[in-house]
Structure 1
Amino acid sequence: MTDRFEITPFLKWAGGKRWFVQRHADLIPKNFNRYIEPFLGGGSVFFYLQPSCSLLGDANPDLIAAYRGIKENWKAVVKSLQYHSRQHSDEYFYLMRGSHPKDVIRRASRMIYLNRTCFNGIYRVNLRGEFNVPRGTKDSVLLSSDRFDLIAKLLESADIRSADFEILIDEAQTDDFIFADPPYTVRHNFNGFVKYNEKLFSWQDQERLAEALIRAKNRGVHILSTNANHSSIRDLYENYGFKLNTTSRFSSISALSKHRKQFDEMIISFTSGDGQS
C-alpha cells in the first residue's frame, strides 16, 4: 500500500461503490499482491485502497482515457478543464458532446467535463457509439474535492487498459485481489441484456464472468464481487466455494432471506487460505 491520503473519485458513475467501501471495507482482504479491477467505473474501491500495484480496466475507452490523461499529465488536464469551465454554456456543452478529440489529454478533460455537466452524470451512447446525454443542472467543472495531483501519483504504478474483463481476470495470480462490479444482468431481466456503455452486457457475459472468477479462485486469487441479488446469479456461484451474502445501501449484510429486499445486492467473496468451503 502507498501512504494513505483521502481521495474522492473524480467521476460520478452509475452503480458506484462509495457507499460500499463505507459500509463493508472489512470484507476487503488485508494483504494481497496486485489489485485488479476489470469494471473500473468511478474507481471507489481503488481510491479507498490506494494499492501500490494495480491493473485497472474497463470496456469504456472514454473512461479509460480519463484515467490515462490524469496519469500522463494531470496539470494539462486541469488546464483544459479550466478552459471548459470558462467556456461552459448550453452551446458549448453540445459542441463538446459532439466532438471527438484524439489526444489523451483532451479526451480526458472532455470526459470529465461532460460527466460533471451532463444530466445526472450518466454515461450513455447511441447506436453509433456517440455520447448523447443532455446537459444537466450542474455547472461546476472544477470541484473543491479535486486532487488530481494525488490521483496521478496513485496511478503511477497502475496498468490502465481498455479491455474485456475476462482478459484482465485471467491475468490474476495467487494472492492477487480482484474486485469485480459488473452490470447487474440477470437471466430473465430484459431478455438477459443490460446496456453497458456502448455494448450490451448479456447473460452470456455474466456466465463468462463467473467462469473467469472460478478459474481465478482456483489459482488462489482473493475475490470480492458485487452483483444482483437474484437466484440466477446465485446459481452461478453457490457450488464453487464462494461466500454469498446480501447487502444494500440501506441495511447491513444479511444471509437471511427475510431480510432481503428487491434493492438488495449480492456479495460474492473468496479469500485464499481462509478455509472457506
Structure 2
Amino acid sequence: MWALAEQALKQAIAVPAKPILKWAGGKTQMLGDLLPKVPSSYGRYIEPFFGGGAMFFALQPEQAVIADSNPELINLYRQVADHVDDVICQLKKYENTQEMFYAVRGQDWTMLPEAEAAARTIFLNKTCFNGLYRVNKKGQFNVPFGKYKNPKICDEEGLKAASAALKKAEIVCGDYLLVLEHYAQPGDFVFLDPPYLPISEYSDFKRYTKEQFYEEDHVELAKMVKTLHERGCHVILTNSNHPLVHELYAPFTIDVIQTKRHISCNGSTRKGEDVIVTIPPKQRTLIKLLPKPLPEQVSAYPPTRFMGSKSKLLSEIWSVASQFNVDTVVDLFSGSGIVGYMFKAQGKSVVSNDYMAMSATFTKAMIENNTVTLPLEEAERLLVAHKESDHFVSTKFQGLYYTDEENDLIDTLRTNIAAIRDPYKHAIAMTALIRACTKKRPRGIFTYTGHRYDDGRKDLQKSLAEQFLDAVEAVNSAVFDNGKVNRSKHGDAMDLRVEQADLVYIDPPYYSPLSDNEYVRRYHFVEGLARDWKGVEIQEHTQTKKFKSYPTPFSTRKGAADAFDRLFKKFANSILIVSYSSNSLPTQDEMVAMMAKYKEHVEVIPIDYKYSFGNQNEAKTHRNSVQEYLFIGY
C-alpha cells in the first residue's frame, strides 16, 4: 500500500504540466524572458488567445480564465480537463499512417463524441506537417500528412498533468474583447499573445481559425489594453517587432527579443525579433468618497421632480470636487440647477449652462442672480390682467392639461411677465410660473393629457394662483450673494465658451437602448412657456401638442460617444467630473478609455442609486436600481 502511494506521489512530482499541442507561435522558447516580468502576486490569470498555453502551463495559476475563439481547441481543453481518461482511451486507437491520417482528417469533428473530437485534434496536431492547424473557408482541416517516423501521439502522463492544471481554470470559447470585458478585474494578470504583425499567410490566427485579424484589429486590441491598464490589471503582451506595435504601445515598456521561427519554409527567414510589452496597472485610489455635510443654504433651493436631478447625490459630488483646489466651476448640463447652486453655496464662481430654456431660467433666477427678489405684492399684480393677452395657451392647449380658467391665468401671467424689464425679476416670475404649472400636473410631466395619474397630492388641490405665489416666495428665499460673479448660459454645451473653467461638471442626458432621454418630450409645455413658443415647431397631429425635440447627440450610442470625446477634448485643461449611469452607454470602460485620451489620471467612483422618477420607471424596465458613476479626470 505504501509502495503504491509512493509511486503515485513520484508520478505527480515527476511530470510537470506542459503544452499538449505543437503550436506555431507558441511561447515556450520565450518563457525565460516572459516569466521574470510576471507580477509577484495577482488575482486571476486571464489568457484570451490561449493557443498552446505555454505561459499558463508554466505558471499553473490557482485561479484562471483561459479562452480562445476556436471551438475545436476549446473542446480539446475542456475534455482534457474533465475527461482525460476518455481522451487517452481514444488516442490509443490511432496509428501514425498516412491512410489513418487522411481518414481522420476527413471527419467532421462536430459530429463526433466530445472526447473523440478532442483526441482527433491531438492526433492531427502530432502527425500533420509542422504541427499546423490550418482550415479552409469551410472550416475543414487541410494540412497534409507530416511523415514523421515516431511522433508521440498519446503522452498519457503529460495529458494527466495538463488535466490537473486545466481543472483549476474556467475554459471559455469566445471573442477576446468579450472575454476581457466580462472577466478582467483590478489586480488580475492578463497575458495577450495575439496573431502577430504583419498579417500574412503564416499568421497564427489565420492558421487556427476561419477568421482574420487585421491591422485595425490590432488597433482595437491596443484600446482594450489601455482600458485594462486603467482598470488596474497587470498586462503582458507579445507581438513581432513591427512599427505599428511600437506606435500603439509607446507609453509602455517594450523589450525586443531574438527568436526563431519554426514554420517558415525558407531557412533564412526563421530568425526574427519579437517584442514583450509590459503594462503595469494604473495606480488609483487617489480620490476618496467621503461625503461631507453641505451648507445650509443648499436646502433653500426649491425642490423639483425634474428628471435626472442630482439632488440626492450632492454630498457625493461635493466630496469628490472638494479634493481639488478650484475657483471656477462650469455646470455644463444644469438641468434642475441644483448642482450649480450647490457649488455657488460652496463659494465657487459658477457658470451654469443648459440647452433647455426652462433650465437656464432657473439658474438665471437663483445662480446668476445674487441680490434681486420679486416682492410678493408685485407678484400678486402679475395675476391680474392689465391688457389683453394673445390667448395662445387657452386656444392651443384647451382641454389638455388645465381648466379653461387656469389656461386664461397662464396667458395673463405670460403677458405680464413679458413686460417685466428687470432680467432677474423676469427670471424669478417665469421660474415661479413653470414651477406652478409643473406642480399642478400629476407626475409633473406632459407626456399625456388629462389627470389620469391624480394621486391626491396637496399640490393638485391648490389653485394655480396659490402655486405661483408659493413658488415666488420659494425662489426669493433661494436668492443669496456668494461674493462671486456667476453666469447662467442658454445654449449647446459644444459651443459654450468660458474664459476660465477650473472644474467642469458634466451630467448629460443618459443614453440607453432600454429607454429614451427626451427631456423636451416630458416638459414641452413648460419649456414652451420659457421660450414663449418662439423658435419651436409644434406638432399639431400629436394629442399632447408637443413640439419637435431639439437635436441632441445623446440620442444614439455613437452620438453620445462622439459627444463625450469632443467635450473631453474641449475641456482637456479642466478637472472633469462626469455623472453617468451603469445602465447607460457608453459603458464604464469606454468612458474611461475616452477620458484617458485627454487626462493623465482617470478614476471611477460607483454610487448605489435608485431612480424614483423619470424614464427608468416610465419605460417599465424594472432597472431603476442602478449604480451612478462619477468619472473623475485630472
Q: Same fold (TM over 0.5)?
A: yes
- The Cα RMSD (Å) is 2.4
Would you identify which runs of 4 or more consecutive aligned residues in structure 1 move more than 3 Å? 141-146
Q: CA separation in 2, counterparts of 1:103 and 1:214?
A: 41
Query: 1:201, CA displacement in angstroms?
Result: 0.9
Which amino acid in structure 2 is aligned with residue 98 of structure 1? Answer: G
Query: 1:13, CA displacement in angstroms?
Result: 0.5
Partner in structure 2 of residue 25 of structure 1? 35
Q: CA separation in 1, counterparts of 2:238 and 2:34?
A: 12
Q: 1:68 touches 1:104 (CA, 8 Å); kept in 2? A: no
For the pair 1:161 / 2:169, whether they are aligned, the reply is no
Q: CA separation in 1, counterparts of 2:122 and 2:62?
A: 25
Which amino acid in structure 1 is aligned with residue 91 of structure 2? Answer: L
Question: CA 1:74–1:144 in 2, change beyond 3 Å: closer, same or farther?
Answer: closer
Q: CA separation in 1, counterparts of 2:220 and 2:207?
A: 15
For the pair 1:103 / 2:122, whether they are aligned, the reply is no
Which of 2, 10, 29 in structure 1 is aligned with 2:20?
Answer: 10
For the pair 1:172 / 2:181, whether they are aligned, the reply is no
Within a 5 Å distance, the mapping from 1:68-83 to structure 2 comes to 68-83=78-93
Decide which structure has greater strand share: 1
Query: 1:146, CA displacement in angstroms?
Result: 4.1
Q: CA separation in 1, counterparts of 2:101 and 2:177?
A: 35
Q: Please report the TM-score for the alignment, with normalisation by the length of structure 2.
A: 0.38
Within a 5 Å distance, the mapping from 1:127-206 to structure 2 comes to 127-138=137-148, 139-142=150-153, 146-170=157-181, 171-186=183-198, 195-197=206-208, 198-206=210-218
Instruction: Give secondary structure in 2 for the equivalent of 1:264.
Output: strand
Which amino acid in structure 2 is aligned with residue 23 of structure 1? Answer: D
Q: CA separation in 1, counterparts of 2:163 and 2:18?
A: 13
Q: 1:81 touches 1:141 (CA, 8 Å); kept in 2? A: no
Q: CA separation in 2, counterparts of 1:270 and 1:211?
A: 13
Q: Percent identity?
A: 34
Q: CA separation in 1, counterparts of 2:155 and 2:106?
A: 28
Instruction: Give secondary structure in 2 for the equivalent of 1:195.
Output: helix
For the pair 1:246 / 2:256, whether they are aligned, the reply is yes
Which of 268, 271, 274 in structure 1 is aligned with 2:280?
Answer: 271
Within a 5 Å distance, the mapping from 1:51-130 to structure 2 comes to 51-85=61-95, 88-101=96-109, 102-130=112-140
Query: 1:149, CA displacement in angstroms?
Result: 1.7
Q: CA separation in 2, counterparts of 1:212 and 1:273?
A: 14
Which amino acid in structure 2 is aligned with residue 71 of structure 1? Answer: A
Question: CA 1:116–1:146 in 2, change beyond 3 Å: closer, same or farther?
Answer: farther
For the pair 1:233 / 2:245, whether they are aligned, the reply is yes
Query: 1:151, CA displacement in angstroms?
Result: 1.5
Query: 1:8, CA displacement in angstroms?
Result: 2.4
Which amino acid in structure 2 is aligned with residue 77 of structure 1? Answer: V
Query: 1:142, CA displacement in angstroms?
Result: 3.2
Q: 2:88 touches 2:156 (CA, 8 Å); kept in 1? A: no
Q: CA separation in 2, counterparts of 1:144 and 1:131?
A: 23
Q: 2:91 touches 2:154 (CA, 8 Å); kept in 1? A: no
Structure 1 stretch displaced more, 51-60 or 109-118:
51-60
Query: 1:140, CA displacement in angstroms?
Result: 2.5
Question: CA 1:29–1:145 in 2, change beyond 3 Å: closer, same or farther?
Answer: farther
Partner in structure 2 of residue 40 of structure 1? 50
Q: CA separation in 2, counterparts of 1:228 and 1:140?
A: 30
Structure 1 stretch displaced more, 69-78 or 151-160:
151-160
Instruction: Give secondary structure in 1 for the equivalent of 2:170.
Output: strand
Instruction: Give secondary structure in 1 for the equivalent of 2:212.
Output: strand
Query: 1:6, CA displacement in angstroms?
Result: 1.8
Q: CA separation in 2, counterparts of 1:196 and 1:117?
A: 16
Partner in structure 2 of residue 257 of structure 1? none
Residues 10-36 of structure 1 show CA distances to partners (whole Å, capped at 9, x for unaligned) of: 100010100111333111111111000
For the pair 1:216 / 2:224, whether they are aligned, the reply is no
